[in-house]
A and B are shown apart, each in its own frame.
Chain A
Amino acid sequence: MNSTDAELLLTALAGREEAFAELYRRRQGGVYRFALQMTGSVGVAEDVTQETFLTLLTRGSKYDELRGTLGAFLYGIARNVVMRRLERDLWTEPSDEMEELADGSDVLEDLTRRESVEQVRRAVLSLPPVYREVVVLCDLQDASYEDAAQALECPVGTVRSRLNRARGMLARKLRVADRARCMG
């Protein structure tokens, strides 16, 4: 099927399951990876993916093709779901994973033991959410600044400045991790 995302969405909202399934298969990977890279949890990423597409069914009629891509619209929904989840987790018993991330020295020790990709993943996960989301969208998901701005509901300039700041923070974290590895 060569329909655009917007056409598939319209057909899906009219009740055609095959159109919705096609749209899901086309876009689920990006949403799932975004949630996974934002939370570091496979289970949460699955829940976020499911909730994002079900929300699309109720809010999809608000999508305007002229204002941005459907991918950006989906990232916007997924981002809200992730943020709600992260806020909720603040008030619940932290998991082992969260405790590790909360303590910088543990992250440092852990970094010395893991492969470089996992080091980078942990460094990204240890960023504050507002910086993490721009890194995940622009650097890991290859979203354009415009799409990121639409998803995050902020100006493009804000995306750029947050991204610069986030990369600076990551550089410091990775430097510390490298130093620890060399010493170890």
Chain B
Amino acid sequence: MSSEEQVRNALRALAEHDRQEEAPAIVEARVLRGFRQARKQRMLRRVGIWSVAIAAAVVAVLIVSAPKARVEPLHAVREPVVQRFEVVVPESSKPVLATAPRTVRPARREIVTQFFMLTDSTLPLDRGQLLRVRVPASVMYSVGLPVNPDRWTERVDADVVVGEEGMARAIRFVGYEQ
């Protein structure tokens, strides 16, 4: 018998020996669990996209029907409010070392994400309106941000950029730092 035939026979024997090998049932259970999770994520992503679309539509209607109340440059960053006041010291008291006016930090400071585009519009966006809305956290997931699936239904603040033509063009999300 030639060596090539011997190799073929040997491989045939191994193939025959392994023919009944299959993944155990636990693997199927894990795969099907993964399928259900992926399906749930896809569904929530779809819901998120629809939420943004609906929010954008509502915003567009508000802009068209109401007088423009607030116009901000597109890249304006909201500054935290700092309240200033003077401390009145009674004359009879001991000298005060620090006399500089004190500032009180606000309880929460805003942190914003970058803007995520909502449309592929080629119209220039030199000016726009920035509107604060509340959306489900799943919207963050829909633009690619990591979100714990358990928190997808929680509401988060977001700024929607509406172009001069009335279309929601971009969104960013707002968090708060203590």
* Residues of A that sit less than 8 Å from B by CB: 12, 15, 17, 20-21, 24-25, 28-29, 31-33, 36-37, 45-46, 49-50, 53-54, 57-58, 116-117, 119-121, 123-124, 135, 139-142, 167, 170-171, 174-175
Contacts and interface: CB of A to CB of B under 8 A. Distances in A.
Interface in B1-39: 3-4, 6-8, 10-15, 17-19, 21-24, 26-28, 30-32, 34-36, 38-39
A135 B23 contact: no
Contacts, number: 96
Contacts of B155: none
Nearest to B40: A15
A32 B25 CA distance: 12
Nearest to A174: B10
A156 B8 CA distance: 20
A114 to B, nearest CB: 12
B6 A171 contact: yes
B23 A49 contact: yes
Question: Chain A interface mostly helix, strand, loop or mixed?
Answer: helix
Contacts of A170: 7, 10-11
A123 B10 CA distance: 10
Given A57-B35, A167-B4, A171-B3, A50 B14 contact: no
Contact of B15 (A12, A139, A167): A139
A119 B19 CA distance: 17
Contacts of B19: 33
Given A140-B15, A174-B10, A46 B3 contact: no
B28 A171 contact: no
Nearest to A45: B23
A59 B56 CA distance: 31
Contacts of A54: 31, 34-35, 38
- Among B10, B15, B26, the one with the most A-chain Cβ atoms within 10 Å of its Cβ is B10
Most buried by A among B11, B12, B30: B11
